[in-house]
C-alpha cells in the first residue's frame, strides 16, 4: 500500500550519512513553500508521539548493552506503529507532505542485516506494525560505514547512542543491506552519494524531493 492522500518521503542511510543535516536544509526550503502542510518527523520516535518517543529513549539508551536483538526489533516496530497512528497517518489524511528521518528500511538494514535477523523476518514483523504503509519515495544517502562513523566521532556534538557503539562489522552489514534494498527497489529508493561535500549532497537530495513532489501533483 502506498500513502493514499498526502506524500510520504523517508530519508535513510547508515549512521553519519548526513540525513539529519540534509533534512534540516530541505525542511527550511520546503516550509517556505508549504507552511503547515509540511510535517518533518523521525524514527525511532516521532513528532508529537509521546509513546514512540518514550520507546526511543529505551531502545537507544547505552545503559542497556544486553538488550536482546529480538526485543530491539520489536521495540522499533512498536515505536513505528505508534508513530504511524499519531503522526504519519493523520498528516497524510490531511493531504500533507511527511518527511521522516528513518522509517521501515532502517529496521530491514539494522535488524535484518546488522543484527542478522534476516530481511524476511523483519518485513513480516513490520507488516503487522505498518499494515503495509510504504513511503512514496525514499532518499537513501549512501556512504561507506568507515566514513559515516568517523563523522560521528569527530564532528557530532549530541550523544552517541547504543547502536553507534557497535563494531565496524555491524555497520558494514547495515550498509550492505541498504545497498541490496536500493538495488531491489530502484523505483522507490533514490540513491545519493553521501561521500560528496555537504552542499552537493543537499543539491542532489533537493532535486530528488522536488521531482517526487512534482510527479505527485
Ligand atoms: N557531506 C558531508 N560531509 C562532511 N560532513 C558531513 C556531511 N554531512 C553531514 N556531515 C557531518 O556529519 C555528522 C553526522 O551528520 P548527521 O547527524 O546529519 O548524520 P545522520 O545521517 O543523521 O546520522 P545518524 O543516523 O547517526 O543520526 C555531522 O557532524 C554533520 O555535520
Ligand atoms: C528506525 C530505526 C533506527 N535504528 C537505529 C539507527 C540508528 O543507529 C539509531 C537511531 O539514531 P538516529 O541518530 O536518530 O539516527 O537507531 C534501527 O536500528 N532500527 C530502526 O528501525
Distance 217 CA to ligand 1 centre (A): 31
The mean of the pLDDT values for the chain is 94
Residue pointed to by grid coordinates 489524511: 93
In a domain, 37, yes or no: yes
Give pLDDT, residue 156: 61
pTM score, whole prediction? 0.96
Distance from Cα 123 to the centre of ligand 1, integer Å: 27
91 occurs within a structural domain: yes
Q: Is residue 1 part of a domain?
A: no
Q: Does 191 fall in a domain?
A: yes
Average pLDDT over residues 25-43: 97
Whether 139 maps to a domain, the answer reads: yes
Residue 180: is it exposed, middle or buried by C-beta count within 10 angstroms (0-12/13-18/19+)? middle
CA distances, 41 to each of 20, 103, 120, 133, 197 (Å): 10, 10, 26, 16, 25
| Ligand 1 atom having least distance to the Cα of 195 | 1
For residue 106, the enclosing domain spans: 7-214
Span 72-90, pLDDT tens digits: 999 999 999 999 999 999 9
Judged against a pLDDT cut of 70, whether residue 28 lies above it is answered with yes
* Residue 14 annotated as lining a ligand binding site: yes
The answer to whether residue 73 is domain-embedded is yes
Read off the pLDDT of residues 128-183 as tens digits, 9 standing for 90 and up: 999 999 999 999 999 999 999 999 888 766 667 877 778 899 999 999 999 999 99
Count of domains observed in the chain: 1
161 pocket-lining for ligand 1 (C-beta < 6 Å):
no
Assess if residue 167 is contained within a domain: yes
With respect to residue 154, please indicate whether it lies within any of the assigned structural domains.
yes
CATH number of the CATH domain containing 101: 3.40.50.300
Amino acid at each position: 500500500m502506498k500513502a493514499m492522500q498526502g506524500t510520504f518521503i523517508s530519508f535513510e542511510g547508515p549512521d553519519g550519512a548526513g540525513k539529519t543535516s540534509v533534512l534540516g536544509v530541505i525542511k527550511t526550503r520546503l516550509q517556505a513553500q508549504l507552511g503547515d502542510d509540511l510535517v518533518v518527523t523521525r524514527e525511532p520516535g516521532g513528532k508529537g508521539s509521546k509513546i514512540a518517543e518514550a520507546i526511543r529513549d529505551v531502545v537507544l539508551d547505552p545503559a542497556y548493552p544486553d538488550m536482546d536483538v529480538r526485543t530491539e526489533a520489536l521495540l522499533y516496530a512498536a515505536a513505528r506503529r505508534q508513530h504511524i497512528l499519531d503522526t504519519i497517518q493523520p498528516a497524510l489524511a490531511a493531504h500533507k507532505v511527511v518527511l521522516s528521518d528513518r522509517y521501515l528500511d532502517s529496521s530491514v538494514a539494522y535488524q535484518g542485516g546488522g543484527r542478522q535477523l534476516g530481511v524476511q523476518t523483519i518485513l513480516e514483523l513490520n507488516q503487522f506494525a505498518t499494515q503495509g504503509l510504504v513511503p512514496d519515495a525514499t532518499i537513501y544517502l549512501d556512504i561507506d560505514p568507515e566514513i559515516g562513523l568517523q563523522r560521528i566521532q569527530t564532528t557530532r556534538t549530541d550523544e552517541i547512542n547504543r547502536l553507534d557503539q557497535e563494531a565496524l562489522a555491524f555497520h558494514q552489514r547495515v550498509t550492505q543491506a541498504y545497498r541490496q534494498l536500493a538495488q531491489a527497489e530502484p523505483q522507490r529508493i533514490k540513491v545519493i552519494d553521501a561521500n560528496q561535500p555537504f552542499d552537493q549532497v543537499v543539491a542532489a537530495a533537493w532535486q530528488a524531493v522536488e521531482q517526487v513532489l512534482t510527479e505527485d501533483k
